[in-house]
Amino acid sequence: MPLKKTLERTRANVSLVEIGKIRQHEETDPGHLSFMMSKIRQDGVFTEPIVIDGGTMTVLDGHHRLNSCILLGLKKIPCLIVDYEDKGIRVVSRRPGIEVSKQRVREISETRCLFPCKTTKHFIPGRIKKINVPLCELA
């Protein structure tokens, strides 16, 4: 199925974004990264978009999927692009002693001095979880 039709069946705000334009704010776990990369390669399709802030191109959810695509040599990745200023989007810390906020996530993504893996948890209302984009469309 052509990519356009694949994305039309989800929502207009899922777009293919060049990987080099995306900023990260968390490190990844090597074991989970290896698992995710193997799963994506084996499936031959990308099944869940990462979530990024449209203003800063910062990953809000999907660091392991993004880094898997980087290691697989892909050039683009499906992204659910959101407005991080939306009051419905919330962020909390998963780690005691590490305070997080939307502003802190933005700052970390700019400095590239990343939070430890799985520090933040974003709550994104109405989020798209299922897509079906062949990897050949991302090369």
Residues that are catalytic: 26
Query: Contact, 127 vs 80, CB < 8 A?
Result: yes
- Sheet of strand 50-53: strand arrangement: 14-18, 76-82, 50-53, 59-61
